[in-house]
Structure 1
Amino acid sequence: MSLAKKAITGIIWNFAEQLARRGIGVAVTLLLAYFLTPEDFGLVAMMAVFLALGGTLMASGFQQALIRLKEATQLDFNTAFYANIALGLVAYIILYNAAPRIALFYEQPDLVSLIRVAALAVIVNSLQVVQVSILSRQLNFKAQLKANLPAALLSGLLAVSLAYYGWGAWALVVQMLVSAILITVFLWMQRIWRPSLSFCFTSLGHMYNFGYKLFLSGVLDIVFKNMYVIVLAKVFSSSVAGIYFFAEKIKELVISQLVTSIQTVTYPALSTMQDDDVRLKVGYRKVLAMTTFLMFPTMLFLAALSQPLFEFLLPKKWWPAVEYLQLMTLAGLLIPLHSINLNILKIKGRSDIFLYLEIIKKIMSALIFFVSIDYGVTGILIGQIISSVLSYIPNSYFSKRLIGYSVRQQLTDFLPGLVSSAVIAGFIFSLQAWVQWWALAELVVFGLLAGLMYLLSANLLKLHAYELTKELVLKKFKKVKPKGE
């Protein structure tokens, strides 16, 4: 199997893992929506940025550094393991002491205890970084599925039970902490790797030299991704922040799921050919074409059908999130392209360029944000769309510089699928103004119609991405087909 096809196969397995885990997560979120209020979700949204920063400090790019090492040794794994634990403890101490100030900023006293308990997950997660790195190097996503799926299910059931009995925001905090504990336990039960008493400062320096730039990039990304919630909670209300946060969680089922699959798989798979630009470019062209072929219709059809989706699944208190979700989906449309282009920088070891790009893009995003805030939540989300489109320019520029993958070639690979998806999504969206059916009927009929139209157009237009995807699916089917048939 070629490395590109191996990467695509890995994406499929990782997508299945993400779908199962995040699918359970969203199902749980939908159930929680019946028992919790927007204010409860707003409290969790307020502390999410600080927990994410703590997690980034704990990881500090060591996982990416381990994956990129051509020959990672037991000493490298030990060094990263103990460094992550130490950084996890530091992150927890910082969050513990910062909790009262965060609560004072938001004028929400309940945040103190919520943050101090939820932050324990940072320490717990530090115990699984090396295991996940090893499995990612091996493209072994079945093992991760065995840990993530039961953890998501058990923690989700517990959260729903607690919400039913009136625990409010604590149900979400307990879900986060229990999920982290269970994933860690299940990974260690598989005996993927065991630490020994050794540590190397030379190895630490080598990994940190690569990882700290990714850490700084991650900090910038987290701050700017969450600044919207921070402002919404401070300027508007915890209820508005909660509705925004809820819409974002729904969006993550689609966008973050596939993007995580792309990053998790293509980075270790294509890192093995980091010195062969020709093969690297061929592999990335296939990955980009196939992932966007699947991603664009999924996202655009979600935007088109979000109104009947919310009406069927959720109580009216959450219906204001429909417009947020539609705009968020459009803002996230180019995220797979950003992910693929930035992965090229990491594979080439150019974490310095990665950091510089993040700084430039965040300055641009901040300027757009401060201009758009006067136009309310809708204006802020439209600003996100503009920021995403503009960010594609610097991201794609270095792909051409490093492996010769130009913007024109990228447009050739993804534009036909994007145009086809957009036209069909627009048609489906306009149909809803003329046809007033029960929400479930609209979801089923229009969803099937959209999917059928997309496949038919891809077949008639002979889209290259469609042919690649069909070829891979047929080969997979032949492999699992019983002998003798």
Structure 2
Amino acid sequence: MSIKNKAISSFGWILTEGLFSQGFLFMVGIILARLLTPVDFGVIGIITAIIAISNSVVEGGFGSALIRKVDADTIDYNTIFYSNLTIAIIIYFFLLIGATTLAGYFDVAVLSKIIPFAGILLIINSFSIVQRAILTKVLNFKTQALISIIASFGSGLTAIIMAYQNFGIWSLVTLAILRPLLNSILLWYHSKWRPSLIFSIKSFKELFNYGYKLLITNLIHSFYRNIYYVLIGKYFNTQTLGYYTRAEQFQAPFSSNITTAIQRLSFPILSKVQNDHELLKSRFIKFLRFSMFLNFTVMFVIAAIAEPMVILLVGEKWRASILYLQLLCVPGILYPLQILHLNLLLVKGYSNLNLKLELIKKMILIPLVLGTALLGIEALLAGIVIFAFIEFFINNHYTKTIINYSLKEQLKDIIPFILLGIALFIIMYTITFIDMGYLAMVIIQLTIGITFFISTNEFIKLPEYLEIKDKIIEFFYKARKHEK
């Protein structure tokens, strides 16, 4: 199978994982939002931030180092396995000691009981980093997708049952723990690799030399991605954080799935051609255009239907999250682009430059976040939007240096998607000014939006649209042929 067909197949499986795994969890979140309170989701938001930051230390960039290393062997795998596991146990120990202090800092007593359970996630995740890296190196996203789908269904159903049985916030904790646990178990069941009593200082130093810069970068990035949970939970209240969390859970599954697909697929594919300048540039542009085509369309649609979607799916008590959702769609639009730029740096081995960039960006972020937080939650969200654009321009500078792909060229490539997305948003959002029921509103919005999107693309014939259209037609043709 050619690299193009392998890439298309892999991308299809990653999107399948997103559709069924994340899609199911999205529905689980809607059900839980109706059964639980904004305060419950606010508490989980704080837990999410703590675990995410800790987990970035556990992973330590070693997974990416293994994927990038062309000749990684069993010594490398064993060395990284024991390194990750040891770090996870140490971090978990510190979380146990600090649970009461963290509960006091946020003035949320239940955190002292939840953190010891949620912290187990770190150890669970450390067990599957090597297995996932091995599958990713050979572009085996089919197995990862199937495992993720099974884990999501199992954990999601368990959480719903617990919520109906009045377990409250513990149903959310169970969802957070059970899903990675099932994922890890299934990855071990499928994988032929098993750890041996091997540890190489030489291997550790080699991979750590690449990985430690990525570790610091990921730690900074993780802190940035979760600092809003910390700030809102500390300086506002858990109810406001619950609204923010709910808004992010409406936006993130779509933006994050596209981003995850691009990130997981682009890194191994671009790594294979890291020394071929022209081929690297052409494939990077292909990934960029495709991700922007998908993400601009999806995010503008989400922003347009935010009001009827929130009220219909989770109820009037979550109305405050509508504006949060619309604002979060803007950085959500640019998120895949940011990750793709950073992937390029890592593919070329510039983990030190990647770290430098993160430090520069966060030096800009900290005063921006602290300043806007003093003005209220809406101002804080506006700060997130502003920083997303700042980050885009900073990242692009080094992309031009590495593959000679200038900002002007990049904007020229994505302007058609921007204009199409804005036009789509205006046409769909206009319907919200008409007095009608929310169900009728969202049906009309989607009908008009889909009609406009298809007819416009049929007229301007964007290559990305035509490629997706051809693959859909091919899929149905094969399905019909198989039935006969």
TM-score higher than 0.5 here?
Answer: yes
Q: What corresponds to 2:163 in structure 1?
A: 163
CA distance in 1, matches of 2:217, 2:474: 39
Q: What corresponds to 2:12 in structure 1?
A: 12
Letter in 2 for 1:359: L
* 1:146 CA drift (Å): 2.2
Letter in 2 for 1:463: L
Please show how residues 265-414 of structure 1 align to structure 2 within 5 Å: 265-414=265-414
Q: What corresponds to 1:430 in structure 2?
A: 430
The question of whether the paired residues in 1 share the 8 Å contact of 2:210 and 2:351 is answered with yes
* 1:115 CA drift (Å): 0.5
Q: What corresponds to 2:74 in structure 1?
A: 74
1:3 aligns with 2:3: yes
CA distance in 1, matches of 2:270, 2:476: 25
1:44 aligns with 2:44: yes
CA distance in 1, matches of 2:228, 2:35: 25
Q: What corresponds to 2:248 in structure 1?
A: 248
Could you list the structure 1 runs, at least 4 aligned residues long, displaced by more than 4 angstroms after superposition: 471-481
* 1:22 CA drift (Å): 1.1
CA distance in 2, matches of 1:215, 1:317: 40
**CA distances 1:11-48 after superposition (whole Å, capped 9, x unpaired):** 22112112221111111111111111111111111122
1:457 aligns with 2:452: no
* 1:111 CA drift (Å): 0.4
RMSD over aligned Cα, in angstroms? 1.8
* 1:367 CA drift (Å): 2.1
Question: Quick one: percent identity of the two aligned structures?
Answer: 31
The question of whether the paired residues in 2 share the 8 Å contact of 1:147 and 1:186 is answered with yes
**CA distances 1:243-302 after superposition (whole Å, capped 9, x unpaired):** 111111221111111101110111012211111111111111111111211111111010
CA distance in 2, matches of 1:247, 1:152: 21
CA 479–345 in structure 1, closer or farther in 2 if over 3 Å, else same: farther
Q: Match of 2:46, SS?
A: helix
CA distance in 2, matches of 1:23, 1:116: 29
CA distance in 2, matches of 1:126, 1:410: 38
CA 406–281 in structure 1, closer or farther in 2 if over 3 Å, else same: same
CA distance in 2, matches of 1:483, 1:154: 31
The question of whether the paired residues in 1 share the 8 Å contact of 2:38 and 2:243 is answered with yes
Unaligned runs of 5+ in 1: none
Q: What corresponds to 1:440 in structure 2?
A: 439
Q: Match of 2:333, SS?
A: coil
Q: What corresponds to 1:179 in structure 2?
A: 179
**CA distances 1:211-261 after superposition (whole Å, capped 9, x unpaired):** 111111111112222221212122211100111111112211111111011
Unaligned runs of 5+ in 2: none
The question of whether the paired residues in 2 share the 8 Å contact of 1:8 and 1:287 is answered with no
CA distance in 2, matches of 1:259, 1:93: 32
The question of whether the paired residues in 1 share the 8 Å contact of 2:252 and 2:332 is answered with no
* 1:375 CA drift (Å): 2.8
Q: Match of 1:193, SS?
A: coil
**CA distances 1:438-475 after superposition (whole Å, capped 9, x unpaired):** 22222222112212212221222232433444455556
Letter in 2 for 1:189: Y
* 1:303 CA drift (Å): 0.4
CA distance in 2, matches of 1:325, 1:366: 22
The question of whether the paired residues in 2 share the 8 Å contact of 1:131 and 1:187 is answered with yes
* 1:355 CA drift (Å): 0.7
* 1:6 CA drift (Å): 3.3
CA distance in 2, matches of 1:9, 1:443: 33
Q: Match of 2:345, SS?
A: helix
Count of matched residue positions in the alignment of Structure 1 and Structure 2 = 484
CA distance in 2, matches of 1:191, 1:333: 35
The question of whether the paired residues in 1 share the 8 Å contact of 2:307 and 2:322 is answered with yes
The question of whether the paired residues in 2 share the 8 Å contact of 1:327 and 1:382 is answered with yes
Which stretch shows the higher mean deviation, 400-409 or 277-286? 400-409
The question of whether the paired residues in 2 share the 8 Å contact of 1:32 and 1:163 is answered with yes
* 1:483 CA drift (Å): 7.7
The question of whether the paired residues in 2 share the 8 Å contact of 1:267 and 1:343 is answered with yes
The question of whether the paired residues in 2 share the 8 Å contact of 1:210 and 1:349 is answered with yes
CA 406–2 in structure 1, closer or farther in 2 if over 3 Å, else same: farther
The question of whether the paired residues in 1 share the 8 Å contact of 2:258 and 2:294 is answered with no
Which stretch shows the higher mean deviation, 314-323 or 473-482? 473-482
Letter in 2 for 1:234: K
Q: What corresponds to 2:56 in structure 1?
A: 56
* 1:482 CA drift (Å): 3.4
TM-score calculated relative to the size of structure 1: 0.96
Q: What corresponds to 1:145 in structure 2?
A: 145
Which stretch shows the higher mean deviation, 370-379 or 410-419? 370-379
Q: What corresponds to 2:202 in structure 1?
A: 202
* 1:403 CA drift (Å): 1.3
Letter in 2 for 1:291: S
* 1:62 CA drift (Å): 0.8
CA distance in 2, matches of 1:85, 1:374: 40
The question of whether the paired residues in 2 share the 8 Å contact of 1:50 and 1:95 is answered with no
The question of whether the paired residues in 2 share the 8 Å contact of 1:10 and 1:141 is answered with yes
Q: Match of 2:374, SS?
A: helix
The question of whether the paired residues in 2 share the 8 Å contact of 1:6 and 1:269 is answered with no
CA 466–409 in structure 1, closer or farther in 2 if over 3 Å, else same: farther
Q: What corresponds to 2:229 in structure 1?
A: 229
Letter in 1 for 2:415: L
Letter in 2 for 1:341: H
CA distance in 2, matches of 1:483, 1:383: 53
The question of whether the paired residues in 2 share the 8 Å contact of 1:4 and 1:286 is answered with no
CA distance in 2, matches of 1:153, 1:174: 13
CA distance in 1, matches of 2:62, 2:479: 37
CA distance in 2, matches of 1:30, 1:317: 13
The question of whether the paired residues in 2 share the 8 Å contact of 1:290 and 1:469 is answered with no
Please show how residues 75-114 of structure 1 align to structure 2 within 5 Å: 75-114=75-114
